[in-house]
Amino acid sequence: MSRKALKADAKQAMGEAPVSPYLVTIIMGVILLILGSVQFVLDIWEDFMAEGIIESDANMILAFGISSAIFFFINLILSTILQFGYQSYCLKVASRNQSMSYGDLFSTVRYLLKAVGLVVMISIFTILWSLLFFIPGIIASCRYSQAVFIMAENPDKGIMECINESKEMMAGHKWEWFVLSLSFILWDLLGVFTCLLAFIYVSPYTTVTLANYYYALKGNSADFTAWEQAY
């Protein structure tokens, strides 16, 4: 599969999308920024207690513990909703599905527990492989890379079903996917150097390209042969 063709088609699909990928990305970014700000406050609170700037008596420690635990679950839920919702939206952009809407960003709510379960299982498997060495961890992340797309497109599928399908789809394609993902590193650096502003373009561009790759793996990508010849 030609990386150039996948990226060119992603750019065209983004330009044709009736629902702006940039506005969807901004909405997601604002929510993530709020979550990050809350975590920043909790980190400062913890540092102040550790350094004795504020008194860390039993009540204060209990309040911090409860606040941290509540935020952990809120962060996990909202991050999962946004992750799956964003990929669901980008799948529609890639496939030119005209039913896309801003509501796609929050469509995961109806299968939230299953989505959280998938994130947890992928994390566990990846961490376990990483314990062996760094490279097996990278291979594992490549192996499970399609699982979220699979569930976002097919919410009725089970957790292990999505994981096993991803493993089957990525057989013989892990290096190819790794190189495709790595090809966006300069774009990611641009996002960092522009104080995250460039991610308004980089995030949908990257995710729609990866959605194109997912469809190509499935064999459902229309006219990819023509794209590869053209580019």
pLDDT in tens, 207-217: 999 999 999 99
| Helix, strand, or coil (residue 205) | helix
In the 8-state DSSP scheme, what is residue 12?
H
pLDDT given at position 133: 79
Find where tokens 């650096």 sit.
Answer: 189
DSSP string, 148-166: HHHHHH-TTS-HHHHHHHH
What distance in Å separates the CA atoms of residue 186 and residue 60, rounded to the nearest whole number? Answer: 44
What tens digit of pLDDT does each residue of 120-157 get? Answer: 999 999 999 988 878 888 999 999 999 999 999 999 99
Residue 197 confidence (pLDDT) above 50: yes
Q: Among 10-19, 22-31, 128-137, where is mean pLDDT lowest?
A: 128-137
Average pLDDT value for residue range 99-116: 95
Residue 66 confidence (pLDDT) above 80: yes
pLDDT given at position 83: 95
Mean of pLDDT over the chain: 91
pLDDT given at position 54: 82
pLDDT given at position 171: 93
CB atoms within 10 A of CB 81: 20
pLDDT given at position 224: 43
Which two tokens mark 1? 């599969």
